[in-house]
């Protein structure tokens, strides 16, 4: 087909065939394919299988040299239009050189069909992300989950999977006891008229203070939980009211950051939790431990799940058992998912390890059929490398953080004098693109396992691997075609007559980076680390700059009139922009035409 495909996958298949044919006496021989170091003499890709195969022979007493083995591999290599030539180097490396005509054909397809995803087997995937807790403020940890989760969801959607984005909000915890009791005291008429609470954080704080100090209040709070959990109508009404206030606040954040989620909080699983607890009990998985009912996972886990508390109540553990069952189970009203992904801070790694172990034990999760991933991430630190807090020690409200981002982004644009060039409308779009883009990108470009330091100054730098640098680079690349009066329609027309140019050394270098797109996507699909895509798009931008510095696309005379247009390069620039745009979409960055 004319679609871009994973180069390493194709090479893997070719070399697998060659190696099996060359060494029929070795079962399951190693096939090692890598992108070559960026020295043109090493070729573009490498096959490094000869050395491990030589070791296998040495172990069985045969004398072989890796160089001879490499030659045998090449003798058996089927030909393929993608591969120009192969050379043996050093002790037995095989350097692989790509064919330019093949590359032109693959990149050219972008103009007719757009940037298409590599083909994967369709699966149903549930991704649980964001998942803040009602009444407790949505904090920067939830922001990380929201940003990383959204990007993984976009990646999966781009690959045409069936994706369900689930917001597993904490809407059924014991905190509702004190919130409802406090609501009843503060606003006795709340059932008739909506109480004027918009700031649940301070409401929560008040309730918590009373809970800690007032024994009588504490007792009423406990009673309220019991009543709520047995669905007493007045308590349900008060609970809904509190949830709605939170929900509205969460939605503001989601709207600003362009996040889509379907709410399915802990309360959704309440009756399902009752059911699964009964099933686990009947199957003999529960053990009595000082009045609580616990369940052990496997050898890899050292703590059990608390399925039922000593007061008979359920826990975070039990509702997650109900949720995972609902995701995988194969009955009516259940999801029948193939893959479930949880995007939650690394502090909960153990919880999910036990969850997966217990789900396997209970026969809910079948490793042969299902995939589960815990996508953990490190904490967000302030510039002082301490936990990210306001000066007064409170946790930072996300709305304030986003507002601050807008303010700083505008400063940045003014510093560059953009307010004098752009219309107010364009300026506003650029401001939002930069503000939200830089917050998302700073998060995504760090390895998610590491903690990361939140710094507006760093993320708004216009050099290095930042959103600002990339958004500017993109705008510049897009404007190249525009200066030569090429609209997207005209580009499409042009691409039918002219080919992308990959002759010049720098053109070819850029072309090969662009061809890696499917591989970068599949790599990220495999390990769910979004920073791969950030590094890739940054590499595209810097390789483009190298190309642009040594190859003219549009030549102008001293009066600014166009004297010559290099069509092959206009096409190369446009293909670059299209692939960058796709990466931006996955990362949640919104490029603007002018900034
Ligand atoms: N609400 C939880 C928290 O804020 C995160 C929930 C994650 N999802 C899950 N299925 N446990 O810590």
Beta strands in 254-345 (DSSP E): 262-263, 287-289, 292-295, 305-308, 339-343
Confidence of residue 420 (pLDDT cuts 50, 70, 90): very high
* CA dist., res. 70 & res. 91, Å (int): 9
How many other CB atoms are there within 10 angstroms of residue 539's CB atom?
A: 16
- The model's pLDDT over 151-205, given as tens digits with 9 standing for 90+, comes to 999 999 999 999 999 999 999 988 899 999 999 999 999 988 888 887 788 899 8
Confidence of residue 230 (pLDDT cuts 50, 70, 90): confident
Sequence-distant (6+) residues with CB within 8 A of 136 are 170, 175, 201, 204
- The model's pLDDT over 332-353, given as tens digits with 9 standing for 90+, comes to 889 999 999 999 999 999 999 9
* CA dist., res. 113 & res. 407, Å (int): 39
Report how far apart, in Å, the C-alpha atoms of 127 and of each of 166, 255, 323, 357 are.
6, 19, 12, 19
Give the pLDDT confidence score for residue 181 in this predicted structure: 96
Sequence-distant (6+) residues with CB within 8 A of 345 are 141, 144, 145, 376, 377, 378, 379
Cβ neighbourhood burial of 552 (10 Å; 0-12, 13-18, 19+): exposed
Mean of the pLDDT values across residues 291-306?
A: 96
Query: Which protein residue has the closest C-alpha to ligand 1 atom 5?
Result: 131
Q: Is the pLDDT of residue 252 over 80?
A: yes
Q: Are 390 and 398 in contact (CB under 8 A)?
A: no
CATH 1.10.730.10 location in the chain = 398-587
Q: Find the 133 Cα to ligand 1 centroid distance in Å.
A: 8
Task: Name residue, tokens 């290095």.
Answer: 464
- What class, spelled out in words, does domain 7-98 have in CATH? alpha beta
Cβ neighbourhood burial of 302 (10 Å; 0-12, 13-18, 19+): exposed
- The model's pLDDT over 513-555, given as tens digits with 9 standing for 90+, comes to 999 999 999 999 999 999 999 999 999 999 999 999 999 999 9
442 lines ligand 1 (CB under 6 A): no
**% of the chain residues with pLDDT over 90:** 86
Q: Are 99 and 7 in contact (CB under 8 A)?
A: no
Give the pLDDT confidence score for residue 514 in this predicted structure: 98
Q: Are 195 and 184 in contact (CB under 8 A)?
A: no
Task: Name residue, tokens 């999966």.
Answer: 156
* CA dist., res. 587 & res. 26, Å (int): 43
Element (H, E) at 33: strand 33-35
ipTM: 0.99
Q: Find the 594 Cα to ligand 1 centroid distance in Å.
A: 40
Structure-token pair, residue 401: 């953080």
29 lines ligand 1 (CB under 6 A): no
Element (H, E) at 94: strand 93-98
* CA dist., res. 78 & res. 99, Å (int): 15
344 lines ligand 1 (CB under 6 A): yes
Query: Which protein residue has the closest C-alpha to ligand 1 atom 12?
Result: 132
Q: Which of 333, 325, 328 is nearest to 307 (CA)?
A: 325
* CA dist., res. 387 & res. 453, Å (int): 9
343 lines ligand 1 (CB under 6 A): no
How many other CB atoms are there within 10 angstroms of residue 104's CB atom?
A: 19
Q: Is the pLDDT of residue 392 over 90?
A: no
- The model's pLDDT over 13-67, given as tens digits with 9 standing for 90+, comes to 999 999 999 999 999 999 999 999 877 788 999 999 999 999 999 999 998 999 9
Q: Find the 169 Cα to ligand 1 centroid distance in Å.
A: 7
Query: Which protein residue has the closest C-alpha to ligand 1 atom 11?
Result: 320
Confidence of residue 235 (pLDDT cuts 50, 70, 90): very high
Task: Name residue, tokens 């799940």.
Answer: 305
- The model's pLDDT over 474-504, given as tens digits with 9 standing for 90+, comes to 999 999 988 888 998 999 999 999 999 999 9
323 lines ligand 1 (CB under 6 A): yes
66 lines ligand 1 (CB under 6 A): no
Give the pLDDT confidence score for residue 315 in this predicted structure: 93
86 lines ligand 1 (CB under 6 A): no
Q: Which of 407, 394, 138, 129 is nearest to 251 (CA)?
A: 138
Q: Are 465 and 445 in contact (CB under 8 A)?
A: yes
Mean of the pLDDT values across residues 411-424?
A: 95
What's the CATH number for 398-587?
1.10.730.10
**213 three-class SS:** helix
User: Which stretch of 78-82, 170-174, 409-413, 430-434 has the lowest confidence by average pLDDT?
Assistant: 170-174
Confidence of residue 1 (pLDDT cuts 50, 70, 90): low
144 lines ligand 1 (CB under 6 A): no
Structure-token pair, residue 141: 């940890």
Give the pLDDT confidence score for residue 123 in this predicted structure: 98
Mean of the pLDDT values across residues 218-233?
A: 93
Query: Which protein residue has the closest C-alpha to ligand 1 atom 8?
Result: 168
Ligand 1 atom nearest 323 alpha carbon: 10
Pocket probe for ligand 1: among 344, 347, 364, the residue whose CB has the most ligand atoms within 8 Å is 344
Output the average pLDDT for the chain. Answer: 94
Element (H, E) at 125: strand 124-128
Q: Are 36 and 42 in contact (CB under 8 A)?
A: yes
246 lines ligand 1 (CB under 6 A): no
Q: What angle do CA 275, 279, 280 make, to 5 degrees?
A: 115
Distance from the Cα of residue 569 to its chain's centroid: 32
Ligand 1 atom nearest 142 alpha carbon: 4
Q: Find the 343 Cα to ligand 1 centroid distance in Å.
A: 9
Beta strands 45-47 and 33-35 are antiparallel
3-state helix, strand, coil in the chain (%, to 5): 55, 10, 35
Give the pLDDT confidence score for residue 196 in this predicted structure: 83
Q: Find the 346 Cα to ligand 1 centroid distance in Å.
A: 11
Q: Are 45 and 8 in contact (CB under 8 A)?
A: yes
What end-to-end distance do the CA atoms of the chain give, in Å?
38
Q: Is the pLDDT of residue 395 over 90?
A: no
Pocket probe for ligand 1: among 168, 171, 261, 343, the residue whose CB has the most ligand atoms within 8 Å is 168
320 lines ligand 1 (CB under 6 A): yes
Question: For 387, which DSSP code?
Answer: B
- The model's pLDDT over 79-119, given as tens digits with 9 standing for 90+, comes to 999 999 999 999 999 999 999 999 999 999 999 999 999 99
Cβ neighbourhood burial of 208 (10 Å; 0-12, 13-18, 19+): middle
């Amino acid at each position: 087909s004319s679609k871009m495909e994973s180069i390493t996958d194709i090479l893997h298949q070719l070399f697998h065939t060659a190696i099996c044919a060359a060494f029929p006496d070795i079962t399951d021989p190693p096939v090692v394919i890598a992108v070559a170091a960026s020295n043109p003499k090493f070729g573009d890709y490498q096959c490094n299988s000869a050395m491990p195969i030589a070791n296998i022979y040495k172990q069985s007493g045969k004398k072989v040299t890796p160089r001879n083995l490499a030659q045998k591999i090449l003798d058996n290599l089927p030909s393929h239009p993608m591969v120009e030539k192969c050379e043996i180097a050093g002790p037995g490396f095989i350097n692989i050189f790509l064919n330019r005509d093949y590359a032109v054909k693959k990149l050219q397809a972008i103009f007719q069909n757009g940037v298409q995803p590599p083909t994967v087997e369709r699966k149903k995937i549930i991704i649980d992300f964001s998942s803040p807790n009602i009444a407790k403020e949505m904090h920067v940890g939830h922001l990380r989950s929201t940003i990383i989760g959204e990007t993984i969801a976009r990646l999966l959607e781009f690959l045409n999977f069936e994706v369900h984005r689930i917001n597993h909000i904490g809407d059924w915890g014991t905190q509702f006891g004190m919130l409802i009791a406090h609501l009843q005291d503060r606003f006795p008429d709340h059932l008739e008229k909506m109480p004027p609470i918009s700031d649940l954080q301070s409401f929560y704080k008040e309730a918590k203070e009373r809970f800690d100090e007032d024994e009588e209040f504490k007792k009423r709070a406990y009673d309220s939980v019991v009543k709520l959990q047995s669905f007493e109508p007045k308590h349900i009404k008060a609970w809904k009211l509190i949830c709605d206030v939170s929900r509205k606040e969460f939605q503001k954040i989601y709207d600003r950051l362009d996040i889509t989620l379907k709410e399915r909080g802990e309360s959704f699983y309440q009756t399902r939790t009752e059911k699964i607890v009964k099933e686990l009990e009947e199957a003999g998985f529960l053990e009595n431990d000082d009045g609580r009912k616990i369940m052990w996972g496997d050898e890899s886990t050292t703590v059990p799940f608390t399925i039922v508390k000593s007061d008979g109540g359920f826990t975070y553990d039990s509702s997650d058992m109900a949720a995972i069952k609902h995701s995988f189970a194969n009955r009516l009203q259940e999801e029948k998912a193939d893959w479930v992904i949880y995007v939650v801070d690394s502090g909960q790694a153990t919880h999910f390890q036990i969850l997966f172990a217990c789900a396997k034990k209970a026969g809910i999760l079948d490793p042969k059929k299902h995939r589960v991933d815990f996508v953990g991430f490190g904490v967000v630190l302030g510039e002082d490398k301490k936990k990210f807090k306001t000066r007064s020690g409170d946790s930072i409200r996300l709305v304030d953080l986003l507002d601050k981002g807008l303010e700083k982004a505008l400063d940045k644009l003014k510093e560059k004098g953009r307010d004098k060039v752009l219309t107010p409308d364009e300026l506003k779009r650029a401001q939002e693109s930069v503000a939200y883009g830089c917050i998302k990108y700073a998060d995504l470009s760090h390895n998610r396992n590491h903690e990361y330091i939140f710094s507006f100054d760093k993320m708004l730098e216009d050099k290095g691997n930042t959103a600002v640098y990339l958004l500017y680079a993109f705008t510049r690349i897009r404007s190249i075609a525009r200066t030569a009066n090429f609209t997207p329609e005209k580009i499409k027309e042009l691409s039918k007559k002219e080919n992308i140019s990959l002759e010049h050394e720098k053109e070819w270098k850029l072309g090969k980076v662009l061809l890696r797109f499917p591989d970068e996507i599949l790599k990220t699909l495999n390990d769910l680390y979004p920073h791969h895509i950030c590094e890739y798009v940054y590499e595209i931008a810097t390789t483009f700059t190298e190309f642009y510095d040594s190859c003219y696309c549009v030549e102008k005379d001293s009066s600014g009139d166009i004297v010559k247009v290099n069509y092959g390069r206009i096409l190369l620039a446009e293909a670059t922009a299209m692939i960058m745009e796709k990466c931006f979409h996955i990362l949640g960055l919104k490029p603007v035409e002018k900034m």
